[in-house]
A and B are shown apart, each in its own frame.
Chain A
Amino acid sequence: MAKFVGAVVVDKETCKGCGVCVDACPESVLALHRDVNGKGYHYSYMKDAGACIGCINCGVVCPDTCITVYRAKAS
């Protein structure tokens, strides 16, 4: 089992749906939602939340800094 568990919060309204966070996630946690935000973008969300390890890769690559990452020791 992973030593760390993570979770991300995507600022849905500032996300531009570029998808680079989806591509950068090593655990395939993220996906672009079928719904759109106020600007018409398919925003990023945790499709497989349980798989997140809190590695921050998604946050690091996001050009619009929409992602906040949390990480805790797995209990």
Chain B
Amino acid sequence: MEIQEIIKPENLVYQKTPLLNDDVMHYCPGCSHGVVHKLLAELIEEMDLQEKTIGVAPVGCSVFAYNYIDIDWQEAAHGRAPAVATGIARINPDNFVFTYQGDGDLASIGTAEIMHACNRGENILVIFINNGIYGMTGGQMAPTTLEGMVTSTTPNGRNVDLNGYPMKITNLIAQLPGTSYVTRQSVHTAAAVRKCKRSIKKAIQNVLDKKGTSFVEVVSTCNSGWKMTPVDSNKWMEENMIPYYPLGDMKDTIKGEHSDR
């Protein structure tokens, strides 16, 4: 069959969702942020939530997230997205409110905000992009940086005696009774992207059903900060990040029903 016979409207099986506008994302080639933005945009469109959704953008590489997905957004100061989202969700209980945060933003500067928002069980979705590094500011160590991992502030590798241990903050969050659905996913293969999308969909549904805080960690790459090609970064992530940050659901319940899984 000739290509021209295949490329016809009736044969279309995959295209960009209209919720992603035509602005070219500022992310480095191959950055996981773009994939997660796309999943959010696709789900908001498929679940017909464009008019109901309010996103809260962080500080970090995804500081400009509001430029790309055509929904309502609010920018928050570094780490403070869960506090801002709390205010928005409380005065607009029928809206779908989510935060989008990096690991420096969520697990370092905003540790207090995320812990208390999750503990209160605010009815929001948290998307947590764990790329093990401060991407935006030039690849400094983050709380999530693996032991031995070289960053611009740990040139000899993270030393746990000096820098502490890589923090599995999602495991801590799963222990809080305010959270309903807590999962760790990734987007490094097509299968992983599909699975991640199903998880985010479930998390969004939980928020719509007012079950409490839903939290989706996405183990991600920062190829610029890691100083590898995008394809090598995906492989490095699979071999090094995922064994320490294993993928899968950690909790699936409703707010207040404590589960120690």
* B112 interface hit (Cβ, 8 Å): no
**B189 on interface, CB distance cutoff 8 Å:** yes
Q: Is B31 within 8 A of A63, CB to CB?
A: yes
Expressed in whole angstroms, the minimum distance between the Cβ of A48 and any Cβ of chain B is: 12
Whether B25 contacts A72 by the Cβ 8 Å rule is no
Q: Given the interface contacts A19-B30, A20-B234, does A70 sit within 8 Å of B7 by beta carbon?
A: yes
A-B residue pairs in contact (CB < 8 Å), sample of 30: A5-B1, A5-B6, A17-B29, A18-B29, A18-B230, A19-B229, A19-B230, A19-B231, A20-B30, A20-B234, A22-B231, A23-B231, A23-B234, A41-B29, A49-B3, A55-B190, A56-B14, A60-B190, A61-B35, A61-B190, A61-B193, A63-B31, A63-B32, A63-B34, A63-B35, A64-B24, A65-B34, A65-B38, A70-B7, A75-B1
Binding site for A on B (CB under 8 A): 1, 3, 5-8, 11-17, 20, 24-25, 27-35, 38, 187, 189-190, 193-194, 229-231, 234
Interface of A toward B, CB cutoff 8 Å: 5-7, 9, 14, 16-20, 22-24, 41, 49, 54-57, 59-65, 67-72, 74-75
A63 touches B27 (CB 8 A): yes
How many residue-residue contacts, CB under 8 A, span A and B? 98
- Contact for A63 among B11, B33, B189, CB less than 8 A: B33
From DSSP, what is the main secondary structure of chain A's interface residues? mixed
A18 to B28, CA, bound (A): 9
In the bound complex, CA of A44 to CA of B214 (Å): 36
Determine the chain A residues whose CB is within 8 A of the CB of B1 once the complex forms.
Answer: 5, 72, 74-75
Q: Which residues of B contact A64 (CB under 8 A)?
A: 24-25, 27, 29, 34
Residues on B with C-beta less than 8 A from A18 are: 29-30, 230-231
Residues in A whose Cβ lies below 8 Å from that of B189: 24, 61
Give CA–CA (A14, B230) in the complex, Å.
17
Measured CB to CB, the closest approach of chain A to B238, in angstroms, equals 12
Question: What's the minimum C-beta distance from B197 to chain A, rounded to whole angstroms?
Answer: 9
What are the 9 closest A-B residue pairs judged by CB atoms, nearest first? A63-B34, A18-B30, A16-B29, A18-B29, A57-B190, A69-B14, A59-B14, A7-B6, A70-B11
- A65 and chain B: residue at smallest CB distance: B16
Q: Are B6 and A70 in contact (CB under 8 A)?
A: yes
Given contacts A6-B6, A14-B24, A54-B6, could you give 5 more A-B pairs where the C-beta distance is less than 8 Å? A63-B29, A63-B31, A63-B34, A65-B38, A69-B15
| B residues less than 8 Å from A65 (CB atoms) | 16-17, 20, 34, 38
Residues of B within 8 A of A56 (CB): 13-14, 190
Establish whether residues B12 and A68, one from each chain, have CB atoms under 8 Å apart when the complex forms: yes
Do B16 and A60 touch (CB < 8 A)?
A: no
B10 to chain A, nearest CB (A): 8
Task: For the complex formed, measure the closest distance between the CB of A29 and the CB atoms of chain B, giving whole angstroms.
Answer: 12
Instruction: Identify the closest chain A residue to B16 (Cβ).
Output: A65
Known: A7-B7, A63-B30. A20 touches B13 (CB 8 A): no
